Structure 1
Amino acid sequence: MSNVIDGAVTALRAKLGDGFDGSAKFHILDEGCIVADGAGVREADEETDVTLSADRETFEAMLAGELDPSSAFMSGRLKIEGDMGAAMKLGAALSG
Structure 2
Amino acid sequence: MTFEEFKEGVTKAGAKAPNLGKSLKLSLDEGTIFIDMTNDGGAVVTEDDKEADTVVTTDVDTLDQLRTGKLNPMMAMMGGKVKIKGDMGLAMKLQSLLS
**TM bin (shorter chain):** 0.7 to 0.9
Q: Distance in 2 between matches of 1:63 and 1:91?
A: 5
1:67 to 61, 67, 71: 71
- Give me the TM-score of the superposition, normalised by structure 1: 0.74
Match in the other structure for 2:40: none
Q: Give the aligned length.
A: 92
* One-letter identity of the residue aligned with 2:28: I
Stretches of 4+ aligned residues off by more than 4 angstroms = none
Check conservation: 2:23, 2:52, Cα contact below 8 A: yes
State how 1:16-35 maps to structure 2 within 5 Å. 16-19=14-17, 21=20, 22-29=22-29, 31-35=30-34
Q: Quick check: 1:13 aligned with 2:11?
A: yes
Question: 5+ unaligned residues in a row in structure 1: which ranges?
Answer: none
Q: Distance in 2 between matches of 1:7 and 1:79?
A: 22
Check conservation: 1:28, 1:59, Cα contact below 8 A: no
Greater helix proportion:
1
Aligned alpha-carbon RMSD (Å): 2.4
